[in-house]
Amino acid sequence: MGNFYNPVRVKIGTLNVIKDVLDTIKPQYSKIILMHRGGDFSESVAGRNLYKSLEGFEVKQIGVNISNPDVEDLFHYYKQIEKFDYQCIVGIGGGSVLDLSKSLAALKNMKIDSTTNLRSVIKQKLYNENQNIVPWIGIPTTSGTGSEVTCWATIWDRENGVKMSVDSEHLYAHSAIIDPTLTVSLPKGLTASTALDALCHATEAYWSRSSNEISRIYSLEAIKRIVNNFEKVVDQPGDIQLRKEIALGSLYAGLAFSNTRTTACHSISYPLTLELGVVHGIATSITLAKVMEINFKSIIENDKLLQAFGVSSVSKVQGLIEHFHQLSGSSSKLRDYKANEEIIEKVASNAFTKGRMDNNPVALTQEDVKQILLSIY
Ligand SMILES: [Fe+2]
């Protein structure tokens, strides 16, 4: 039961549909921030198409050359655009670009003068009262984050060893444009790790305490598409039809967890990434089958979940994920990321992110988390 809500206008097609999106907002907005991945973006086909579509607008471009943005990175970009009176942000890129676009949309005109100040704005969610939040448009170039259809962004605080969120109902994108051709040049490892992230979003949404009948349908659809096409897309990265299947899988996973948020796997992944540098999609999926085993009896229609994975038991999910890790060139064992007993203790004690761990259908203790981590050591 429950209510499903997501206000993002989703356009599936080519990047060119941005013209239609901008036409609907052009009367009000003329100054745009274009956030992209930097590097050779301006020379790419997508870059050139996008600039053409933005003719007639005053555009300030920001190339983002970092990933997993920290509060200091966010402050750096905030200062770069602070004096430009932007009315809309277009973000084209992976999760980091989209999360920064969303966060900067929230911070417009907030007169932030230091990272310390920004840290407290985020912690106290002061952007919630900001009357100057601007609309943003999300154009993902990876298939995994789901940020284009969720209302929160991950901002790390490495100085304090924690993950923070910029999170508000006001931060859904005005529109999301899903163009699978933007993902064809993604390298194998990134294709695999982002797809694994989406697989976790869908699976965790399915068993989340906040799941509802509609989110569960999106979850199952997402899992089927990702599982059925994972090996093929890693093998044939230039195949647009396969890219579309994974892009839709990621979108459906995003829609599912936009309503439910994630659970124990994501909660455990944050300290794994902070302490051991494990890539997000690997860090979330590395505990997926173990957490599924613990949750299994509490999962509504758990048979449908296994069917979506195309397996007959949870132990086979473990085998499937290990196979996917192998295809991505990653290990499924923590020892290969230089974990040790001390780090495992630290990860277990920092694995309890509010709104994530308490969203797991089964309450886990620190000792439970430690045992999960030891079982994949
Ligand atoms: Fe994620």
CA of 284 to the centre of ligand 1 (A): 7
CA of 297 to the centre of ligand 1 (A): 24
Distance CA 233, CA 227 (A): 10
Per residue in 111-163, pLDDT tens? 999 999 999 999 999 999 999 999 999 999 999 999 999 999 999 999 998 88
CA of 1 to the centre of ligand 1 (A): 25
Distance CA 7, CA 353 (A): 26
How buried is 104 (Cβ within 10 angstroms: 0-12 exposed, 13-18 middle, 19+ buried)?
Answer: buried
pLDDT of residue 312: 96
DSSP result, 271-296: HHHHHH---HHHHHHTTHHHHHHHHG
Domain that holds residue 59: 9-181
Instruction: State the DSSP H helix or E strand holding residue 32, giving kind and residue range, or none if neither.
Output: strand 31-36
Residues 276 and 313 in one domain: yes
pLDDT of residue 193: 97
Per residue in 234-288, pLDDT tens? 999 999 999 999 999 999 999 999 999 999 999 999 999 999 999 999 999 999 9
CA of 82 to the centre of ligand 1 (A): 29
Residues 131 and 223 in one domain: no
C-beta separation of 184 from 238 below 8 A: yes
Residue 209 pLDDT level (bands cut at 50, 70, 90): very high
CA of 323 to the centre of ligand 1 (A): 20
CA of 148 to the centre of ligand 1 (A): 12
CA of 84 to the centre of ligand 1 (A): 31
Residue 202 pLDDT level (bands cut at 50, 70, 90): very high
C-beta separation of 141 from 93 below 8 A: yes
Which tokens sit at 363? 């309450």
Single residue among 157, 181, 205 that ends a domain in this structure:
181
The backbone torsions φ and ψ at residue 162, rounded to the nearest 5 degrees and listed phi first, read -135, 165
CA of 266 to the centre of ligand 1 (A): 7
Residues 81 and 216 in one domain: no
| 93 part of a folded domain | yes
Residues 38 and 122 in one domain: yes
Single residue among 125, 155, 181 that ends a domain in this structure:
181
CA of 198 to the centre of ligand 1 (A): 7
Distance CA 50, CA 368 (A): 49
Residues 42 and 166 in one domain: yes
C-beta separation of 283 from 269 below 8 A: yes
| 3 part of a folded domain | no
Angle between helix 288-295 and helix 188-207 axes, rounded to 10 deg = 10
Query: In this structure, what CATH number is given to the domain that contains residue 192?
Result: 1.20.1090.10
CA of 197 to the centre of ligand 1 (A): 5
C-beta separation of 64 from 97 below 8 A: yes
- Across the chain, mean pLDDT equals 95
CA of 201 to the centre of ligand 1 (A): 6
Query: In this structure, what CATH number is given to the domain that contains residue 170?
Result: 3.40.50.1970
CA of 200 to the centre of ligand 1 (A): 7
Residues 169 and 235 in one domain: no
Residues 174 and 227 in one domain: no
CA of 146 to the centre of ligand 1 (A): 8
* Residue partners of 375: CB distance under 8 A and separation at least 6: 290
Distance CA 197, CA 66 (A): 19
How many domains does the chain fold into? 2
Per residue in 6-34, pLDDT tens? 999 999 998 989 988 988 886 677 899 99
CA of 92 to the centre of ligand 1 (A): 18
| 342 part of a folded domain | yes
Region 333-355 average pLDDT: 97
| 30 part of a folded domain | yes
Per residue in 170-179, pLDDT tens? 999 999 999 9
Question: Ramachandran region of residue 354, left (φ > 0), alpha (ψ -120 to 50) or beta?
Answer: beta
Which tokens sit at 320? 């499937």
Residues 176 and 277 in one domain: no
Single residue among 146, 181, 216 that ends a domain in this structure:
181
Per residue in 79-104, pLDDT tens? 999 999 999 999 999 999 999 999 99
C-beta separation of 317 from 325 below 8 A: no
| 68 part of a folded domain | yes
| 4 part of a folded domain | no
CA of 218 to the centre of ligand 1 (A): 16
pLDDT top residue among 46 and 122: 122
* Residue partners of 27: CB distance under 8 A and separation at least 6: none
pLDDT of residue 23: 81
Residues 142 and 200 in one domain: no
CA of 30 to the centre of ligand 1 (A): 33
Residues 156 and 268 in one domain: no
DSSP H helix total and E strand total for the chain? 15, 8
Question: Is pLDDT of 352 > 70?
Answer: yes
Residue 198 pLDDT level (bands cut at 50, 70, 90): very high
Residues 176 and 190 in one domain: no
CA of 136 to the centre of ligand 1 (A): 20
Which tokens sit at 188? 């194998």
Residues 168 and 193 in one domain: no
pLDDT of residue 1: 58
CA of 108 to the centre of ligand 1 (A): 26
| 23 part of a folded domain | yes
| 245 part of a folded domain | yes
